[in-house]
């Protein structure tokens, strides 16, 4: 697995993901517990929070959807931040890993490794041997 340098722009992205969930964290019904920030290749940043429910959506889906809605299709880096007192960054769930591969195969993901260190890796490294629709690739 290749690790990429955490840049100042990455630190800004991490802070924005933390800020969006801090503003929207819901500790009563837990509908909003994760914030996400995605940076497009042109430098545009889009934010999202998860919308939990029977068929909820992860924060990564929401931030990617916001970017796509605004006409962006090329993504550079994404990060998700926990909204509770534990703080920290979260790896994408399996469903998000699949979605990221399908919508932005070259995106890099910022997360905490097993030792708690902040790392940046390719999404491909997080989902080896993915299911791939031939129409997408």
For the chain, counts of helices (H) and of strands (E): 4, 5
Listed in sequence order, the residues at least 6 apart from 102 whose beta carbon sits closer than 8 Å to its beta carbon are 133, 136
- Does residue 19 carry a catalytic annotation? no
**Active-site entry in 60, 102, 124, 135:** 60
Angle at 68 between CA 62 and CA 73, to 5 degrees: 125
User: How many residues are there in the chain?
Assistant: 137
CB 40 within 8 A of CB 22: no
C-alpha dist (Å) from residue 114 to 19, 33, 85, 109? 24, 21, 19, 15
Show which residues are catalytic: 60
């Amino acid at each position: 697995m290749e690790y990429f340098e955490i840049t100042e722009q990455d630190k800004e992205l991490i802070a924005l993901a933390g800020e969006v969930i801090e503003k929207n964290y819901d500790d009563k019904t837990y509908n909003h517990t994760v914030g996400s920030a995605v940076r497009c290749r042109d430098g545009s940043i889009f934010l999202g929070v998860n919308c939990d429910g029977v068929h909820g959506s992860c924060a990564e889906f929401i931030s990617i959807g916001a970017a796509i809605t605004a006409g962006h299709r090329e993504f550079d880096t994404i990060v998700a931040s926990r909204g509770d007192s534990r703080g920290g960054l979260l790896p994408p769930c399996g469903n998000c890993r699949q979605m990221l591969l399908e919508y932005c195969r070259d995106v890099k993901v910022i997360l905490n490794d097993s030792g708690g260190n902040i790392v940046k890796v390719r999404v491909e490294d997080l989902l080896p041997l993915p299911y791939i629709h031939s129409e997408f690739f």
